[in-house]
Structures are given as C-alpha cells and as structure tokens.
C-alpha cells in the first residue's frame, strides 16, 4: 500500500480524486502514512510470532493440498563453459532453484547416484526433477541443454551453420490407455528418429524416475513434454495415442532483455513520477515498448492481462459514479461529514473516519470501501478548513487494513492454503489491526499536527 501502483485500491482512490478535481497521488504519496504502518507490521511479524509457531508445531499445512504444479523428470547436458562444470553437487546450488538432482550420467554412460561431493563435468548429463518453468529457466543461467535437443540433427545443423536458434514451442500431452507407446521406451519406438519428436521431460504422478529418458518405459497416464523437430499435426499425436493438453512456450533467461526490461520499468516509474503524464500512461507505454522490442511476445503479453481485475476496477469506478449521480454518495457523505464536524476536532474527525473505513473494509471489498469513504474524506477536510491529505491518506491506509476476515482475494488464498478458521484469523489479525490503527492515528498527529 506504499505506492500508487502497489494495490488496485490506491489506483482507484487516485482516479476518484482526479474525477473530483482534487490533486491525485504521485508514486510515493501513500507512503507518507503507510510506511510507518509497514514498519509496525514487520515488527509484529518478527517479534510476536507465538501464534505462528503454534501453527507450525501442529504440522505441515500443505500435506493434502492439491497444488497444480507438475513435477517433471528431465535429462540435461552440461555444456562447455557451464558455471556448473568442475563444481560439486553441493556447490551447484541447484536445490535453491527448486530442482532435485536424481542422477548423473558420466562419460562412458556411467550412471552415478549424486552425493554432495559428486563433481560435475562438462558433457555430463544430469537427470533432474522439478516443475517445467523452473527447468526451462535454469537452461541459460547454468549453461544447460535438453539432452534430446542436443542430439537432434536439425538443431545441430542450425548451430553448425551459425543460424540463430529460433524460439521453440513444446507440447504437453498425456499418454492414453490405447497408446502404442505403452511399455516401450522412446528409443524402441523411434520417437525421435521416426516421428521427429524429442522427449524433453516426463511426469509420472507419485513416482520418482531415476533413469535416462530414452530408457524409461512409458506408462498410461504419463504426461510427456515433447519438442517437435518438424511441423507436427494432431493426426501424428492421435496415431501415437497422445492427447495434447496445451502448447508450452519455452522460457529462457536473456540477460540483455532482462536489463532492458528493468531500464524500461525504471524509466516509466521516473517519468510518471516527475513528468506531466500519469503513471498509468507511462507504464502502459513501457509495456508496449517491451512488445515492440520483442522482449515479450504479443500473444504472451495478452495472456498476462488479468481481465477479472480490470473489469472489477471498472465496475468499482462505475459503482462510485452511480452513487454520485443517484445522490446516495451525497446523502451518506453529508451524514458522515456532519457527524465528523460535530466532533469539533480535525484530529478526532480523522480518527472517526479511519475507524469507520476499517469497519467497512472488513465487510466489503477494499475498493468499494475506498469508493464510499474518499468523497466523505474530501468533504470533511473542507468542512474543517484543513488540508485534505490526512483525511484521504487515512482512508487509503484503512481501506487496505482488512485483517479480520478473509474477504479479499489475497486473504482468501492464505485462508485456504493455511486451513485457518475465522477464529484464528481474528486471533492473528486483531492485534495487528489495533497496532496499525494506533500507529496511523499517531502518525497523523505528528505529521500534520492536527
């Protein structure tokens, strides 16, 4: 909640202020009041962990949760110049990447079960287990290559001729019960030589496979990651008894693209903060620039758009507009403003406004609470003839202080994953809510001297 783009709630508040003719937020405007709250939250998590320790002692929270993260077995070759070469397994730090090393195939096809002291050499083949995104992400970083791809003649010819290797799409397919591949190895079926398909990785639910991929006997229900060496149509997959699940675009770490992306992001933030254009516009231009420079493929960029969030934000803004035009916002605002003014103290008015927003955000979404309370904050500040900043920022922080009930999407994920009860949510959230509320009110008093 410390930046304009940190939460959708802050962005909605900024839009409401601009529509009302008020001064909008700069990038770090919310941090004036939110940063002290952040520090208190960190302090609470670090020095009051008794509740969390109790939860940990009760046992792992994810034993029977069904996360959709498939673990694939893959065989990689350590290329010349790889940072893994001449290092021990312990020094390789593959485990920190979420990768499990199952075996090492040395020159002469000697299979070695890895121990921390096992030394990795160039041209060694390592058999690993991990989810596909993590596997593809470490290829460039550690100088690795899918073993099947290295052996594929089409790729060898491209490298020998100096042709830039093109982006390669992978296919995820499940082995059907009628598949002729069942109980046969990729080598026996001629998967690569006859069908021009390289087996890149395999997922076998509940079983760890410690063999070279070419020697694994395929079973019904296996999920295969295949790399087509030529144009492949659905009829070939149907002939092999493979049911395609989805195409997979291989992710590769490109240092140059990574640096350019960081520079574009920083430039968009600085331009939006110091320039005359809103930060939403500069960030949009930055996103378009990454597509123009081919850092992000257009299709991939389109898939990254969370349409649910965009529709939700649009709906909340429309709801606020509807409340304004119907007169409901004015009626509610007048009632709350008159109640605040009766306190005859701007500081007490801020406290009441903050507490009212905190209560409201426990019952409805953060964005809806902000849409209702921001107009009240603006009118209350005008009635007291003081700057609107403490009132608006108090509402901003309070609207994001939904600590007592799992009604926000992020809290719903935590609630489900941790198997918490409402009582446990209250036990952990109530002390945090009290601490942050006191901190916010004290900060208002100190910063603005109300």
Q: Residue 75 — φ and ψ, nearest 5°?
A: -120, 120
DSSP 24: -
pTM for the model:
0.52
User: Rounded distance, CA 49 to CA 54, Å?
Assistant: 9
For the residues of 350-418, what is the DSSP string, one character each?
HHHHHHHHHHHHHHS-HHHHHHHHHHHHHHHHHHHTS-SHHHHHHHHHHHT---SS--SHHHHHHHHHH
The band of 354, judged by pLDDT with boundaries at 50, 70 and 90, is: very high
- Tokens in use for 170? 């992978």
Q: How far is the CA of 84 from the CAs of 115, 128, 253, in angstroms?
A: 15, 14, 16
The pLDDT mean for the chain works out to 77
User: Rounded distance, CA 380 to CA 387, Å?
Assistant: 10
Fold of 72-249: Alpha-Beta Plaits (3.30.70)
The pLDDT tens digits for 248-297 are 555 555 678 888 988 998 898 888 777 777 777 888 899 899 989 888 87
Query: CB count, 10 Å around CB of 305?
Result: 10
Contact present, 182 and 212 (Cβ < 8 Å): no
The band of 323, judged by pLDDT with boundaries at 50, 70 and 90, is: low
The pLDDT tens digits for 397-442 are 999 898 887 766 667 656 655 667 778 778 888 889 999 999 999 9
Contact present, 187 and 180 (Cβ < 8 Å): no
Q: How far is the CA of 223 from the CAs of 133, 175, 246, in angstroms?
A: 15, 6, 11
């Amino acid at each position: 909640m410390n930046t304009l783009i940190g939460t959708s709630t802050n962005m909605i508040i900024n839009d409401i202020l601009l529509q009302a003719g008020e001064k909008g937020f700069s990038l770090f405007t919310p941090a004036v009041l939110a940063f002290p709250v952040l520090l208190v939250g960190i302090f609470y998590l670090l020095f009051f962990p008794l509740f969390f320790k109790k939860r940990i002692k009760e046992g792992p929270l994810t034993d029977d949760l069904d996360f959709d993260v498939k673990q694939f077995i893959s065989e990689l070759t350590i290329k010349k110049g790889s940072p893994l070469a001449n290092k021990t397994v312990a020094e390789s730090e593959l485990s920190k990447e979420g990768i499990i090393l199952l075996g090492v195939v040395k020159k002469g096809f000697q299979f070695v079960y890895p121990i921390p002291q096992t030394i990795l050499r160039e041209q060694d083949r390592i058999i690993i287990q991990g989810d596909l995104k993590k596997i593809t992400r470490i290829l460039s970083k550690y100088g690795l290559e899918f073993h099947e791809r290295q052996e594929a003649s089409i790729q060898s010819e491209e490298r020998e001729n100096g042709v830039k290797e093109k982006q390669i799409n992978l296919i995820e397919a499940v082995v059907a019960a009628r598949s002729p591949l069942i109980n046969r190895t990729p080598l026996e079926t001629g998967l690569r030589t006859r069908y021009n398909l390289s087996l890149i990785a395999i997922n076998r639910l509940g079983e760890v496979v410690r063999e070279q991929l070419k020697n694994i006997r395929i079973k019904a229900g296996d999920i295969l990651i295949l790399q087509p060496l030529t144009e492949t149509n659905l009829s070939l997959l149907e002939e092999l008894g493979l049911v395609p699940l989805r195409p997979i675009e291989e992710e590769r770490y490109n240092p140059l693209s990574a640096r350019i992306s960081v520079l574009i992001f920083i430039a968009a933030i600085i331009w939006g903060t110091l320039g005359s254009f809103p930060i939403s516009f500069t960030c949009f231009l930055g996103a378009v620039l990454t597509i123009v420079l081919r850092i992000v493929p257009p299709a991939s960029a389109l898939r990254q758009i969370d349409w649910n969030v965009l529709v939700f934000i649009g709906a909340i803004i429309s709801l606020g507009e509807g409340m304004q035009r119907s007169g409901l916002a004015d009626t509610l605002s007048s009632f709350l403003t008159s109640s605040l003014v009766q306190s005859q103290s701007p500081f007490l008015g801020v406290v009441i406004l903050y507490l009212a927003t905190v209560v409201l955000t426990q019952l409805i979404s953060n964005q809806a609470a902000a849409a209702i309370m921001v107009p009240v904050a603006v009118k209350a500040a005008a009635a007291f003839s003081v700057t609107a900043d403490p009132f608006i920022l108090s509402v901003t922080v309070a609207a994001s202080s939904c600590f007592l009930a799992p009604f926000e999407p992020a809290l719903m994920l935590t609630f489900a994953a941790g198997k918490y009860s409402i009582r446990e949510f209250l036990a952990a959230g109530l002390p945090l809510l009290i601490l942050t509320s006191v901190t916010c009110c004290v900060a208002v008093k100190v910063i603005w001297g109300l």
